Amino acid sequence: MANSEIMKDIVSLAKRRGFIYQGSDIYQGLAGTYDYGPLGVLLKNNIKNSWWQDFVTDREDMYGLDASILMNAKVWQSSGHVAGFSDPLVEDLKTKKRFRADHLLEEAGFPVEGLNLTQMTEIIQSNNIKSPDGNPLSEARQFNMMFETAVGAVDGDISYLRPETAQGIFVNFKNVVDSFHPKLPFGIGQIGKAFRNEITPRDFLFRVREFEQMEVEYFVHPDSWQINFTMWQEVIKVWAGKIGIDLNKLSELEIGEEDRAHYSQRTIDFQFEYPFGVKELFGLAYRGNYDLTKHTEGSGVDLAYLDQETGEKFIPHVIEPSLGVDRAVLSVLVSSYREDDLGGDKRVYLDLPFLVAPIKVAVFPLLKNKPQLIEKGRQVFSDLKSELSFVMWDDNGNIGKRYRRQDEIGTPYCVTIDFDTLEDNTVTVRQRNTGEQKRIAISELLSYIKNN
């Protein structure tokens, strides 16, 4: 099946089955915004919880944080975002629609690495590259991607919706050091919303204007940045596999100096093979002591770290694993989407790991008009629900259709209560991928599900 077809099928399944809806749908939407439906929010929370556990809770060198989205505008001046957080833009001279200059060049087959605005404009003009609507284009210029917002009632008091969660961590570095006196290396992790006024949001959840990030700023002695960089590189890969990202579709790209963000001395992009091309999934950057130095200068507060054992005082260096939640959701959906034939019938299923599946088990009474089956089924359902939380009750339609509905949302197990159950307290457990069915005693059900 063509890649564009697969993407269409995933977007349509996501909408139909309550994972992801276009934002502001009944008003023709708002480009670059998506809303997570009942199953989407479960999938997304499972991914975030797993990240929080592996990157923060399970580690002794990590602290958690939840900083404000709105920050003093001076934060963004010091961090360099006011001056430098921009993308190259060109305008269609007729329709006034705006496009990413680098994207148009790429689509026209020109390599864009390291090009400045003048070079982009020259290529556009000398090759007569037109807008997607066929009209001439303006010169390329920089466009700042931060959303500006008014703060309070005083005219002129502005701030920005944060374009990365990282700065909330840097401005709290001293607070955490003063409260906990951690030894280096240590890190602060945070999950939260970020906003970017993307010129051309596209490819479903891939490039959106409102998204979530899971970020760690890991503070190290300058001598040990390399070993810690490699350590986080490994942690990211292991976690990606755990949440169901197809590791055969994952690759790493060393970013050249001319294409790195203004703060970075080394960056690796973890790339994923999406149906629309191989593109960035997560990033890992060595930010040196750029941010803490800039905030020391900007705020006048000394953000140097004193090593109590050696007496050495210095501004720590930073390794930053930065993972987008929405791109994680998208790559998990792409990795798990399957179409096959089962028992002569075509079916679609999501091969989600148990860890992230929104619903872990579905419970079916064979018939909905038999009170004994319902009573027994409800008992099994509530026992499972009290242990696994995400359990669904479905008594609608024939069992085959109920299986297909659960396959499509990635439920690993379906449990059917039938007349034999009333006699011998056993149920049929059906496995999603293979369709294999087994008779299991109700008393063994939970341990069977947990251990398979």
Footprint of ligand GAP (CB under 6 A):
164, 166, 196, 198, 207-208, 211, 213, 215, 280, 282-283, 320, 322-324, 326-327
- Based on CB atoms, which residue is closest to ligand GAP, 329 or 417? 329
**Least distance (Å) between residue 143 CB and ligand GAP:** 14
**Least distance (Å) between residue 366 CB and ligand GAP:** 44
Please state the three-class secondary structure of the chain as a single string: CCHHHHHHHHHHHHHHCCCEEECCHHHCCCCCCEEECHHHHHHHHHHHHHHHHHHHHCCCCEEEECCCCECCHHHHHHCCHHHHCEEEEEEECCCCCEEEHHHHHHHCCCCCCCCCHHHHHHHHHHCCCCCCCCCCECCCEEEECCCEEECCCCCCCEEEECCCCHHHHHCCHHHHHHHHCCCCCEEEEEEEEEECCCCCCECCCCECCEEEEEEEEEEECHHHHHHHHHHHHHHHHHHHHHCCCCHHHEEEEECCHHHCCCCCCEEEEEEEEECCEEEEEEEEEEEECHHHHHHHHHHCCCCCEECCCCCCEECCEEEEEEEEHHHHHHHHHHHHEEEEEECCEEEEEECCCCCCCCCCEEEEECCCCCHHHHHHHHHHHHHHHHHHCCEEECCCCCHHHHHHHHHHCCCCEEEEECHHHHHHCEEEEEECCCCCEEEEEHHHHHHHHHHC
- Based on CB atoms, which residue is closest to ligand GAP, 62 or 129? 62
**Least distance (Å) between residue 326 CB and ligand GAP:** 5
**Least distance (Å) between residue 165 CB and ligand GAP:** 7
- Based on CB atoms, which residue is closest to ligand GAP, 244 or 283? 283
**Least distance (Å) between residue 167 CB and ligand GAP:** 8
- Based on CB atoms, which residue is closest to ligand GAP, 161 or 392? 161
Report which residue's Cβ sits closest to ligand GAP. 324
- Based on CB atoms, which residue is closest to ligand GAP, 82 or 440? 82
**Least distance (Å) between residue 72 CB and ligand GAP:** 18
- Based on CB atoms, which residue is closest to ligand GAP, 85 or 403? 85
